[in-house]
Structure 1
Amino acid sequence: MMQKSDFFYNRKGEPVFLTGLQCHNSSVGTELIDSTIQAIHLYGGNLLEAPVYWCEVEAEEDCYDFSMVKTLVDKAKAAGLYLIPLWFGASKNGLFTYAPDYIKRNVGVYKRARNSAGIPVESLSPHCRATLDRDKKVFSKVMEFLAGYDREGTVIAVQIENEIGLAHTDRDYSKEAEAEYRQPVAKYLWDVKLKDSGVGEESTGTIDPPTWKGLFGRHANEAFSAWKHACYIQEMVEAGLEKYGIPYIMNVSIEINEYEEPGLCYISGGPVARVLDIWKKTAPGIKLFGPDIYLPAERDYRKACEAYARPDNPLFIPESLIGGIGAALNMMIAVADYAAIGICCFGAESGIADGKLLPEAEQTAISMRAIASLAPLLIRYRGTGRIHAVTQAEFSGWQYVKTEDYHVTARFLSNDPKPQHYFGSRINTNDPKNASCLTDRGRCLLVDCGDGEFYVAGAGVCLTFLRRPEVWDDTPYAHLASALSGQLNFLSVEEGHFEGNTWIREYRRNGDEANYQLYVHPGQVVRVRLNPDIKWEE
C-alpha cells in the first residue's frame, strides 16, 4: 500500500504527481527561463526544475547574492508551477565547473581528486574537508533563504548536486583518499552485498575487520567512492534540514551504458543501482535517488526503471529525453509498470520555437499531457495493479490487457485494417488538421477503477472491452459471443477532465460515437462505465 513517503506533498499535505521540464544548464537568470516555463505549459506539466549556481550565489567568499534564487521562485509561482531547485555546487556531472573562482584557483586548499597515476582529474575530492565545509555553508545559506522567502510552498523538493561522482577515474587515489581506503570498512556496511562482486555471500572480508576489497571484490573502488560521496551528501542534507525542512533528493548518472564500468562508462561514486544500498545506509536523509534516463530503447529503459523502482526508493525520473517516440512510449511504461511518482524531461527550450511545440517534441508532449490528465487516479491507484500501459511496439497491430473482470484489446489506429475512424469521438478525423490522430504511434494509460469503470488517455488507440466469464459459468462461449458481454452494454461513455479529484464531463458519447470501439485521441480523457450487472439467467 502507498506509504506517506511515496509521493511529493504540497503544503496542504496533499500528494502531488509531478510532470515537468528542466531548463538547460545556463538558462537561469536569462530570458530562456521564460521559454522553459512556456514549454512546461505546452507539455501540460506542473513542475519547473532549474539550477541554482554556487558561483553566482557566492561569487566571492562569504558574500551572498540570492537575487537569482528569488527570481526563480517568483517566476515559478507566477506560472502556477512547483519548483525543484537543483543545487549546482561542488559536483555537476562529476565536474566542478559551477564552483566559484576562489575554489577553482586555490587548488592547495580545495583539492582535486586524483587518478591511479596520481594525476588530478576534473572533479573535486570528496575527501577534502575544506571543500565540503564551503559547499555545505553556502548550501545552508540558500536553504535558509528559501525557508524564509517561499511562504506559499512553491518549492516542493530540493536536489543536492547534479549527477555527483568522479570523472575519468574509478575512485580518488590522493593521499587523503588512500589513507581512508586502508581503514576498516564501517560496520554498518558489512551486510551489504554487491551483485557480481566475485565475493561469496558469506564473506565479511579477507581480514577482521573487513577491507573494501574483501567485502566488495571487483567493485571495491566504486563502493569506496560511493561511500565517501554519500558521507559528503549526508552532511549536506543535515545542514539543509537545520534551515529548511523539505525533501532532499538526488539525480543519478545511471550505469546503463555499454559495458558498465565506473569512470569509463559513467561517473564513479554516484548512487547508481550497483551501490545504491551503500548510499541508502550512508545518506538516509535523501528521500529518493532519481535516475536520469536518456534511453529510447524499451529494453534499456525498463532495465533502468527496474533498478531504481524499489520499495525504499519510489521512482522519480528527474531527466529524460525531451522528444522522440521512444520517450513518448516509455513514460507510459514508467507510470504503469514501475509506479513512477513523477517524470520530467530535460532541455525545455529545445522543444519549442516561436511559442509552439516543435514536431520532434509533439509526441512526447502528448504523452506527458495524457499522464498529467490522469494524475488523481495515478495517485489513488498507484501500486494496485489497476494502472495499465498500452504501447505500440514495432510491427504491432494490437495489445491485450487482462483485468480482473474484462478482456481489453487495444488496436493501434496506424495499423487498423478495418478503420471506423469517423465514429467514436467528437474529433473530425476527416479534417486534414487532425490527420495525425490516425497516424500517431499508439499508446495510452488505462486505469481500472473496478465495477466496470475505466479511464483512458493517450493517442492512436481504440479499445474493445469483453466481460470475462464467471467461474460458475457453464456456457462461457455463448456469453462471450453475446453483445451483452461487450461494451455495447455500457452505462455511459464520456470525455472530460479532472478538477482536483472531481471528474468534470465535457461531452457524452452515445450512438455511433459509443457503440463501436472506444477511440482515444490526443487531448482527451475518456471515461467508460460498463454495466456490471449482466443477468444470464431469469
Structure 2
Amino acid sequence: MNKLGVLTLLSIVVGGPAVGQTRDSHAGLPHLEKRGGATQLIVDGKPFLVLGGELHNSSSSSVAYMKPVWPRLTAMHMNTVLSPVAWETIEPEEGKFDFSVVDRLLEGARANNLKLVILWFGAWKNTYSSYVPAWVKTDTERFPRVQTSDGRSTERLSPFSTAVRDADARAFARLMRHLREVDGDTHTVLMVQVENEVGVIPESRDHSAVANAAFSGAVPSALMSFLQKHRTTLDPEFRAAWEAAGGKTAGTWQEVFGKTSLTDDLFMAWHYATYIEHVTAAGKAEYPLPMFANAALIRPNYEPGQYNSGGPLPHSMDVWHAGAPSLDLLSPDIYFNEFALWAGRYARPDNPLFIPEAQGGAAGAANALYAFGHLSAMGFSPFGVDDQGNAPLDLVGITNSSERPDNSAIGNVYSELSKLAPMILEKQGTGGVTAALMEGEAQRSARLYLGDYTATMTRAGGSSGAGARLAAMFIQTGPNEFLVAGSGDAQITFSTDKPGLPIVGIESIDEEFFENGAWVPGRRLNGDENSQGQALRLYASDLAQGKIYRVRLYRYR
C-alpha cells in the first residue's frame, strides 16, 4: 500500500484527515473568527489569547540549545512560542526535504504544554536572504538579486523572479504539508508568518532591468480596482498621496502616485505582496492555518530605503490587502516608544491586531495590557525570550551579560493575563474590556471610558515614576463593578458625564488573588488606601504579587 493509502486508512481509524483532503475536513483547525467587535483566534473551538514570546533567529536550529529553554518559557507563563523555521534547514539540497528540526520543535513545545507560531524564513529575513539554502545563494543566474541604481547586486533575492518565487513556494508548501501530516489533529501550530520583515535597503526600490520595466509600466488593474472600490476606507496617508497626484484610475506608478520616494515604496509593496500571495496560497492549499506578514516600522524622519521599503507598513497596508488576499492579517514589530500609535494603526476593521515582535521588560508588560485591553489584540510577543538563563552570550546575540533583558515583568503580566484570559476574550467583542497607556515623561495622564464612568490615570510616586510606561486594564463585571490590573505606579480617579447623579464615589476596593481556580479577596482597601474614597492606587509590585483590584463605584449628588 502506498503512503497515501496508509494515511487514508489511518484517517478512517483515528478520525483524522488524510493527505489530499479538503480544508473542510479539518473541523477543529485553528482559524480566525469575528466575535462581536473583535476578531479572535479560535483553537479547538474556543477563543485563544496568544501570550507569546519569540525566540532569537537561530535558537530553534539546535535541540540541545532549546532543551533548557522550553521550561524557562513555561515558567514565564507563556502559552505560545514564536519560532523561525529556515528554508535552508528543511531543504538543504533541492528537492530533498528534512523536517527533523521541525519535528523536534513540535516535540519540545508539546512536552512543555506550549503552542507554536511558525515564522517562515524563506526568501527573506529582515530584507536579507540569509536563510536560503546554499544552492539558491550560489546560483545568481537562476535566482537573481535586487540591484542598486548603479547595477550592483545585493544580499536580497528579487521579488520579480518567478524562479525564486516558485522555489520558495514549493518549499513552503512542503512545510505546510508536513505540518498537516504530523500536527493536523494536535494543533500545536496555531499560525504561520510568511517571510520576515521584507523590503529594500539601502535604496527605495529594486533597479534591476525587470524591476525598471515594471516601474515604467502601468499600475496593475487589480490594484487600481481595489483602490477605487475601497477609496473611502484607505489609509489617510496613502489616499492623500494618490489624490495629490490627481486621483487617476490608470497610468504608470509615478503618474498615479507622484514622483516621490513613497511611490517607490508602494511599487515594491505591490511586488512583495503579490510574491507572498503566491507563497501563501501554495501553503494554504496544503494546510490552511491563519497566515500573516510582519513589518519593520519606520524610525522618525526616515525615507524609503532607510527603512524596509515595500514592507506591509500602515501607509501601504491597502496595497498589501489588494496584492495578498490569502494573508489573514498584517502585523507590526514594535520596538519604538510610540506603541499606542503604531499598534492602533494596525488595529483596523479589516486587519485584526497580532504583535509578533516587541520589546520586553516592564515596558512590554504595560504594552501587553494595552494591546489586549484596548485594541482587542489576538496576541503579543516580546522578542528574544530565550535570553534569560545560562545560554552562551554569543548564541543570544549579545556580548555583555548586563545586556540580558529582565523578562520577569513579562512573566508577571502573563501570569495575570492567563487567569484573566477567559474574561478578556468574552469581553473583547462586547466592549466590556478596555485599557489606558501612558508613554514617556511628557504624558502625565490618560483617560478611558467604562460604561457610565470615566477613569483618569495619573502618575504616582515610586519606583516607576516620571518617564516610566504605565498601563491599566479594566474588565467590567457589572454596571458599577470592574476588575483592574495595572503595571506601574499610578493613581486612578473616577467621574461621569452621563445623565443622572453627577458625583462618582468609590463604594469599595478589594485586593484579589487567584487561588485554586478562583479569585479570592484580600484586604478591603479604605481610608488612606483609597485616598478617603477618592482614588484607586496601583503599584509597580502588584503584578509580581499576583494582585488585581475589584472596584465598585456609585453615584451621588
With normalisation by structure 1, the TM-score equals 0.81
Q: Distance in 2 between matches of 1:34 and 1:513?
A: 51
Equivalent of 1:258 in 271, 286, 300: 300
Does the 8 Å contact 1:112/1:121 carry over to 2? yes
Alignment partner of 1:27 out of 51, 59, 76: 59
What letter is aligned with 2:342?
A
Letter in 2 for 1:283: A
| Residue in structure 2 matched with residue 388 of structure 1 by the alignment | 435
1:229: how far off? Answer: 1.1
Alpha-carbon distance between aligned partners in 2 of 1:203 and 1:61, rounded to the nearest angstrom: 46
Partner Cα distance (2:420, 2:515) in 1: 8
Match of 1:212 in 2: 253
Contact 1:23–1:346, Cα closer than 8 Å, also in 2? yes
* Alpha-carbon separation, structure 2, partners of 1:354 and 1:270: 33
Name the SS of the counterpart of 2:61 in structure 1: coil
Q: Is this contact kept in 2: 1:398–1:409, CA < 8 A? A: yes
Give the aligned partner of residue 505 of structure 2: 486
Q: 1:121 to 1:196 in 2, by over 3 A?
A: farther
Match of residue 176 from structure 2: 143
Asked if the contact 1:57–1:65 (Cα under 8 Å) also holds between the matched residues in 2, the reply is yes
Offset at 1:336?
Answer: 3.4
For 1:216 and 1:511, the matched residues in 2 are separated by 60
Per-residue CA distance 1:308-364 (angstroms, 9 max, x = gap): 2211111111001133x4334333333334332211011112244589x96733334
Shift, 1:444, TM fit: 2.6
- 1:422-461 residue pairs with structure 2 within 5 A? 442-461=470-489
The match for 1:294 is 335
Q: Is structure 2 residue 59 aligned with structure 1 residue 17?
A: no
| Counterpart for residue 305 of structure 1 | 343
Amino acid across the alignment from 1:495: E
- Structure 2 counterpart of 1:167: 201
Query: In the alignment, is residue 157 of structure 1 matched against residue 191 of structure 2?
Result: yes
Q: Could you tell me whether the CA contact under 8 Å between 1:54 and 1:100 is conserved in 2? A: yes
1:124 corresponds to which letter in structure 2? Answer: L
Aligned 1:490-529 pairs, distance under 5 A: 490=508, 493=510, 495-497=512-514, 504-510=518-524, 516=530, 518=536, 520=538, 521-523=542-544, 524-528=546-550
Which residue pairs with 2:230 in the alignment? none
Deviation (angstroms), 1:231: 1.1
1:346 aligns with: 383
Change in Cα spacing, 1:136 to 1:454, as seen in structure 2 (3 Å) is: same
Deviations 1:40-76 (A, max 9, x none): 3343221100111111111111111000001111111
Partner of 2:452: 405
- DSSP 3-state at the match of 1:270: coil
Question: 158-167 vs 93-102, which deviates more?
Answer: 158-167
Distance 1:225 1:399 in 2: 38
Change (3 A) 1:411 1:243: same
346, 358, 361: which one pairs with 1:320?
Answer: 358
Are the structure 2 counterparts of residues 215 and 441 from structure 1 closer, same or farther at C-alpha, using a change threshold of 3 Å? closer
1:190 & 1:464 partners in 2: Cα distance? Answer: 49
Match of 1:423 in 2: none
Q: In structure 2, the residue corresponding to 1:7 is in which secondary structure? A: strand
User: What are the within-5 Å matches in structure 2 for residues 86-165 of structure 1?
Assistant: 86-150=119-183, 151-165=185-199
Change in CA separation of 1:223 and 1:402 when aligned onto 2, cut-off 3 Å: closer
Q: Are the aligned partners of 1:374 and 1:457 in contact in 2 as well (CA < 8 Å)?
A: no
The residue number in structure 2 matching 1:7 is 40
1:29 counterpart letter in structure 2: S
Alignment partners' CA distance in 1, 2:448 and 2:265: 42
- Counterpart-to-counterpart distance in 2, 1:172 and 1:307: 27
Letter in 1 for 2:277: Q
Distance 1:132 1:401 in 2: 47
**Partner SS for 1:41:** helix
TM-score, length of structure 2 as denominator length: 0.79
Pairs aligned (count):
491
Alignment partner of 1:381: what SS? helix
Q: 1:391 to 1:376 in 2, by over 3 A?
A: farther
Paired position in structure 1 for 2:461: 414
Q: CA deviation at 1:101?
A: 0.8
Contact 2:173 2:286 (8 Å CA) reproduced: yes
Structure 1 CA distance for aligned equivalents of residues 364 and 553 of structure 2: 36
Aligned to 2:276, which of 233, 236, 244?
A: 233
Q: What residue is the counterpart of 1:426 in the other structure?
A: none
Question: 1:136·1:239 contact (CA, 8 Å) conserved in 2?
Answer: yes
Give 1:79 deviation, angstroms: 1.2
1:203 aligns with 2:203: no
Secondary structure at the counterpart of residue 190 of structure 1: helix
1:163 and 1:100 map into 2 onto residues whose CA distance is 19
Gaps of 5+ in 1: 416-434
2 CA distance for matches of 1:197 and 1:436? 42
Inter-partner Cα distance in structure 2 for 1:451 and 1:184:
57
Amino acid in the other structure paired with 2:52: G
**Is 2:301 the partner of 1:285?**
no
Amino acid at match of 1:245: P
**Structure 1 segment 63-82 matched on structure 2, within 5 A:** 63-82=96-115
RMSD of Structure 2 on Structure 1 (CA): 3.4
Which whole-Å deviations, capped at 9, do the CAs of 1:154-199 have from their partners, x for residues lacking one?
1100111111222323222222222333332222322637255375
For 1:455, give the aligned amino acid. Answer: L
Superposition deviation, residue 514 in structure 1: 11
Return the alpha-carbon distance in structure 2 between the equivalents of residues 216 and 349 of structure 1.
44
SS state at 2:352 partner: coil
Task: Tell me by how many angstroms 1:224 deviates.
Answer: 1.7
Alpha-carbon distance, 1:292 to partner = 0.5
